[in-house]
Amino acid sequence: MSLFLEVVSVSEAVEAIRRIAPPPRYEEVPLEDALHRVLARDVAADIDIPGFDRSTVDGYAVAAAETTGASEAIPAMLRCQGRIGMGSADAGTVSPGSCRYVPTGGALPRGTDAAVMIEHAEQIGDDVLVHRPVAPGENVVFRGEDFAAGKTALTRGRVLSPRDIGVAAAVGADRVSVAKRPRIGIISTGNELVAVADTPGPGEVRDANSYLAGAFVTERGCHPVYFGIVRDERSMLKKAVASALEQCDAVLVSGGSSKDERDNTAAVITELGEVLVHGIALAPGKPTIIGTAGGKPVIGLPGHPASAYVVLVAVVDYLLAAMHDTTVSRRTIRARLVQNISSTRGREDYVRVSLKNGEATPVFGKSGLLNTLVQSEGLVRIPASSEGLEVGEEVEVILW
């Protein structure tokens, strides 16, 4: 077996993978289909939002100055000039010494600049006794205060959340421009691999990585295209990769990424294009390949599913983000380590941890075990410069 003589750091690998990301293409989609898509163009408010001064409480629209000094003992007394209906085009004008009942969200009439909560007022016939003073603007959202007309409400590059979708709706964006879903070809290679529906015979294992990688890219807004299991044979792998390249924007090949002579992925990428990186100072995940062919990224992932997943998180995530013209967004949490973790200097380690009550416990396991993936909640990254982490240290956990 030849050695990994030119292993690069994780940050160099990330740089390399971002450089080869094909630029995104864009499409317009109805807002209801835009969840988790990456916004390609800013969304601005088409009009002032809200379009009128409105009350945030059920109560009475008043001129704040007329409630100065009001108290339980000496309430301010105002004349009630009727009720404001929801959605009414004109809330009218309130004359001095008067007020008008306004429901939550109702428009403030001219002559008023605040709302008194119904709990702080008492209506007796046509008179309203106000027991507490209100300041100008209290319990009111003014026209354009939320989003002024033309103001950017959502910035390009944002991964649209349910909250964003609601805001886009409020500012009139019934269609939004988003990055097209990149098509990611997925190939698993290995003579020992059988389909999930099959029962593995002696020496065989089920193809977990196609599903693992497919789900990962789906979660990141991509469209996986599955090319199935390919035997460890150069010509067959070459054919599969070439066909995936024709149909997709990038290709992930799992297995065969090491430097054994039976490992074909690097050789196939070299025949079709160029290998840029072969080997990353990363554990698990060293046997990783970054290459291009026909201007498209071809990535070789390690065969062990847990290693493949770490490479997806630590490196491939950056490719997928760049293909959407956005940045990697990670959910992280800080936790205290309950055990020492040793690490080799010069290599970035990703340790799976389980979390409970703010404590992170490393989930160690023999290389290749799948159960560590379900027994952990995330990863702790140990930088290449570190020789390990000590019990009691506060660490950042990248949540799965």
Query: What residues line the site for Mg ion (CB under 5 A)?
Result: 190, 255-256
What is the identity of the amino acid at 321?
A: A
Q: ∠ CA(195), CA(368), CA(317), 5° rounding?
A: 80
Q: What mask, x for binding ligand AMP by CB under 6 A, covers residues 27 to 56? A: ------------------------------
212-241 residues in contact with ligand AMP (CB under 6 A) are: none
Nearer to Mg ion, 256 or 300 (CB): 256
- Rounded Cα distance, 383 and 117, in Å: 56
- Rounded Cα distance, 291 and 278, in Å: 9
Angle at which helix 265-272 crosses helix 234-247, to 10 degrees, equals 60
User: Are 178 and 38 within 8 A, CB to CB?
Assistant: yes
Among 98, 112, 257, 376, binds ligand AMP (CB under 6 A): 257
Q: Please give the distance of CA 359 from its chain centroid, rounded to a whole number.
A: 24
User: Choosing among ligand AMP, Mg ion, none, which partner's interface includes residue 133 (Cβ < 5 to 8 Å by kind)?
Assistant: none
Task: Give the helix/strand (H/E) hosting 44.
Answer: strand 43-44
Among 254, 264, 292, 343, binds ligand AMP (CB under 6 A): 254
Q: Kindly state the smallest distance separating residue 323's Cβ from ligand AMP, in Å.
A: 23
Which residue has tokens 């066909």? 243
Q: Kindly state the smallest distance separating residue 5's Cβ from ligand AMP, in Å.
A: 19
Q: Kindly state the smallest distance separating residue 5's Cβ from Mg ion, in Å.
A: 21
What is the identity of the amino acid at 188?
A: S
Coil vs helix vs strand at 267:
helix
The span of 82-90, 220-228, 250-258, 356-364 binding ligand AMP (CB under 6 A) equals 250-258
Among 188, 264, 288, 343, binds ligand AMP (CB under 6 A): 188
Q: Which ranges of the chain would DSSP assign to H, the alpha helix? A: 10-19, 162-170, 209-219, 234-247, 265-272, 305-311, 317-323, 371-374
User: Choosing among ligand AMP, Mg ion, none, which partner's interface includes residue 285 (Cβ < 5 to 8 Å by kind)?
Assistant: none
- Rounded Cα distance, 36 and 188, in Å: 27
- Rounded Cα distance, 349 and 229, in Å: 29
Among 303, 310, 372, 382, binds ligand AMP (CB under 6 A): 303
116-135 residues in contact with ligand AMP (CB under 6 A) are: none
User: Are 138 and 118 within 8 A, CB to CB?
Assistant: no
Among 66, 138, 146, 207, binds ligand AMP (CB under 6 A): 207
Q: Could you say whether residue 264 binds ligand AMP (CB under 6 A)?
A: no
Q: Could you say whether residue 284 binds ligand AMP (CB under 6 A)?
A: no
Q: Kindly state the smallest distance separating residue 238's Cβ from Mg ion, in Å.
A: 16
316-355 residues in contact with ligand AMP (CB under 6 A) are: none
Residues interacting with ligand AMP, by CB under 6 A? 188, 190, 192-193, 205, 207-209, 254-258, 302-305, 368
